[in-house]
Chains A and B, each alone.
Chain A
Amino acid sequence: MSGDAANGHAAGGGGPAGEGLEGQHALGVRCEGLSFWYDEGATRIAALRGVDLTLAPGASVALLGPTGSGKSTLLQLLRGLLAPDEGRVLIDGLAAGEDGYEERERRIGLVFQMPEMQLFAATCRDDVAFGPRQLGWSAAEVDDAVTSALAAVGLPADRFGARHPYSLSGGEQRRLALAGVLAMRPGLLLLDEPFVSLDPASRRDLEAILRGLRATGMGLVLATHDVDRAYGLCDARVVLDEGVVVDAGPWRFGAGGEDALLSHRLKLPFVVELWRRLGRAAAEAPPELAAAAEALA
């Protein structure tokens, strides 16, 4: 099923001043007939089957689906860490091998699940500088990128720069890993389950950071089980089940819109669920909710 998740947020560039990360041009990505299999000994497991998807520059998209639906695989294919068995990925209309494709591919940032595992340097500064250094930037550019990235994630360089990554708390480490990717000034940010294993306060911090990034015009693809945060951060959603896109487009509820989520073992955003229940006969609703409905009406 073809998906056009382009609605919603305006295309990138020229957003309100983020923490020095504005200005890089957002990337648009399209998948055509993307398929990928994993070989497990004697068997072949289809992770993705014929995925067609369009992500406009600057769009914020939630990638939803039960575990094993292919979300991580799709993200890795978009970033070029895996080569598709069938189909292709187009970045800004360019296909792999074409001039300028590689340069754009490097500008897609991918934050893995539990990204703290990628931390290895002796100081926070050094770890965040790893990415920009690989891109061959000058010392001054690297320095600049590191400082703005650390600022963007709430770990200012003057306080955290010289600290050892492992001396940070779990939530701080998560943000440090994100800074490592942001320092490369991505035009599109892919996040694989960024909220997993974080306490509520850290989740709120991370959500605020992502909101800030969105405001700078950066494109966002959020693969997550946290439907509530996805609903809050993204304008559109893509639902994957068993490697197939079963729904794509802006959020819609009512007239069967919920089925896209419910029939694929996903829950509705709490706000939507609440409205559903309030919508039922007052006699069914617990007295507190009935009173709230009255007050909100």
Chain B
Amino acid sequence: MAIAQYYPRASPIHRLDPRCKVVAVAALVVGLFLRSSFAALAVYGLVAVAGLLLSGVPLGWVARGLRPVVWLLVLTFVVQLLFAPGPAFYTLGPLHLSLRGLAIAGYLSLRLVVLVVASLLLTLTTPPIALTDALAWLSRPLRRLRVPTEELALMVTIALRFIPTLMQEIDTIMKAQRARGASFTRGGPLRRARALVPVLVPLFILSFRRADELALAMEARCYLPGAPRTRLHPLHAHRRDAVVLVLVAALVVLAELI
């Protein structure tokens, strides 16, 4: 399980500048919430689906990305269906089924789906490092307010890079302690929390040691916090990125007017 599942492929969406994609998806999300109409939702939905198809990412991966929100979806739908106010065609105590409730339930659920699909479009087509670069660039104005955006971006990049390593280590340490008879599934929450101590302590020690070594290694390669840094793959905006941004802006305006 990866945090930001990236599916590598050479598609028009993959080739877009990550900054463009971040802004486009952000605009889509904002637009989605600005206007509550099925017509607007349909526009955004179509855009998201079109984007997905263009990206060539297998539908299985998209479905997997939706899985975490399935329960939220079901809950939203059911709650709205049963409790939303409106002329009812069936009541049973506090339960209150109405056509309006059905419409709201449908709208909210579909909106959630479009939201998730739009963000999946971003993470499936953009490698985490590129995403970090994009966010670092976009947040550069914050430097005026003395926010260390470059250093924060580096922290995120390092964290992302070491997540798989950490997960591997957790697995190994847990197995080693299980081999000594530890159990992480027995007992109530308090007992299970205590059972994690033999895993967390070594993990922390390993991580601190690694942080030390990494800092030394970076210094040995002349890293200086705050000094201007270049990138191996600098972000280049192309005309197609501008085109996409204009299109997205137009769509948002269209959705507002419908």
* Interface residues, chain A, with chain B CB atoms under 8 Å away: 76, 79, 81, 106, 109-110, 112, 115, 117-120, 130-131, 134-135, 166, 180-181, 184
Q: Tell me the chain B residues, 165-185 only, with Cβ under 8 Å from chain A.
A: 169, 172-173, 175-183
**At the interface, yes or no: B152 with Cβ under 8 Å from chain A?**
no
Complex-state Cα separation, A184 to B206, whole angstroms: 26
> Which of B180, B183, B205 meets A166, CB within 8 Å?
B205
Q: In the complex where A119-B202, A120-B202 touch, is A130 in contact with B172 (Cβ < 8 A)? A: no
Contacts of A110 in B (CB 8 A): 176, 179
Smallest CB-CB A-B distances: 8 pairs: A134-B181, A120-B201, A131-B180, A118-B176, A110-B179, A112-B176, A120-B198, A81-B175
How far in angstroms is the closest Cβ of chain A from B106? 34
**At the interface, yes or no: B197 with Cβ under 8 Å from chain A?**
yes
Complex-state Cα separation, A117 to B201, whole angstroms: 9
> Which of A106, A117, A166, A184 meets B176, CB within 8 Å?
A117
Complex-state Cα separation, A47 to B180, whole angstroms: 24
Q: Are B197 and A120 in contact, CB atoms less than 8 angstroms apart?
A: yes
Q: Are B173 and A81 in contact, CB atoms less than 8 angstroms apart?
A: no
Q: Can you list 21 pairs linking A and B with CB atoms under 8 Å apart? A: A76-B175, A79-B179, A81-B178, A81-B179, A106-B181, A109-B179, A117-B169, A117-B172, A117-B173, A117-B176, A118-B177, A118-B180, A119-B202, A120-B197, A130-B177, A130-B180, A130-B182, A131-B181, A134-B180, A134-B181, A134-B183
How far in angstroms is the closest Cβ of chain B from A72? 10
Q: Mark B195-239, 1 if CB is under 8 A from A, else 0.
A: 001110110011000000000000000000000000000000000
Complex-state Cα separation, A131 to B176, whole angstroms: 11
Q: Are B179 and A117 in contact, CB atoms less than 8 angstroms apart?
A: no
How far in angstroms is the closest Cβ of chain B from A38? 11
Residue on A nearest B203 in the bound complex, by CB: A117
Complex-state Cα separation, A134 to B179, whole angstroms: 10
* Interface residues, chain B, with chain A CB atoms under 8 Å away: 169, 172-173, 175-183, 197-199, 201-202, 205-206
User: Max chain A CB contacts within 10 Å: which of B176, B180, B183, B199?
Assistant: B180
Complex-state Cα separation, A193 to B130, whole angstroms: 38
Contacts of B180 in A (CB 8 A): 118, 130-131, 134, 180-181, 184
Complex-state Cα separation, A106 to B176, whole angstroms: 13
Residue on B nearest A112 in the bound complex, by CB: B176
Contacts of A117 in B (CB 8 A): 169, 172-173, 176, 202, 206
Complex-state Cα separation, A115 to B175, whole angstroms: 11
How far in angstroms is the closest Cβ of chain B from A84? 15
Complex-state Cα separation, A75 to B175, whole angstroms: 12
Complex-state Cα separation, A184 to B197, whole angstroms: 20
How far in angstroms is the closest Cβ of chain A from B169? 7
Q: In the complex where A117-B202, A130-B198 touch, is A112 in contact with B182 (Cβ < 8 A)? A: no
Q: Are A115 and B176 in contact, CB atoms less than 8 angstroms apart?
A: yes
> Which of A106, A112, A120, A180 meets B172, CB within 8 Å?
A112
Residue on B nearest A76 in the bound complex, by CB: B175
Residue on B nearest A110 in the bound complex, by CB: B179
Complex-state Cα separation, A115 to B206, whole angstroms: 12
How far in angstroms is the closest Cβ of chain B from A22? 22
Q: Are A184 and B181 in contact, CB atoms less than 8 angstroms apart?
A: yes
Complex-state Cα separation, A191 to B169, whole angstroms: 18
Complex-state Cα separation, A180 to B182, whole angstroms: 13
Complex-state Cα separation, A76 to B181, whole angstroms: 14
Complex-state Cα separation, A58 to B110, whole angstroms: 64
User: Max chain B CB contacts within 10 Å: which of A117, A119, A130, A166?
Assistant: A117
Complex-state Cα separation, A81 to B169, whole angstroms: 15
How far in angstroms is the closest Cβ of chain B from A123? 13
Contacts of A106 in B (CB 8 A): 181
> Which of B179, B181, B199, B205 meets A112, CB within 8 Å?
B179
Complex-state Cα separation, A269 to B246, whole angstroms: 70
Complex-state Cα separation, A166 to B172, whole angstroms: 19
Complex-state Cα separation, A184 to B169, whole angstroms: 24
Complex-state Cα separation, A181 to B175, whole angstroms: 13
Contacts of A112 in B (CB 8 A): 172, 175-176, 179
Contacts of A81 in B (CB 8 A): 175, 178-179
Complex-state Cα separation, A134 to B183, whole angstroms: 9
How far in angstroms is the closest Cβ of chain A from B173? 6
How far in angstroms is the closest Cβ of chain B from A43? 14
How far in angstroms is the closest Cβ of chain A from B162? 16
Residue on A nearest B199 in the bound complex, by CB: A120
Contacts of A184 in B (CB 8 A): 180-181
Q: Are A118 and B173 in contact, CB atoms less than 8 angstroms apart?
A: yes
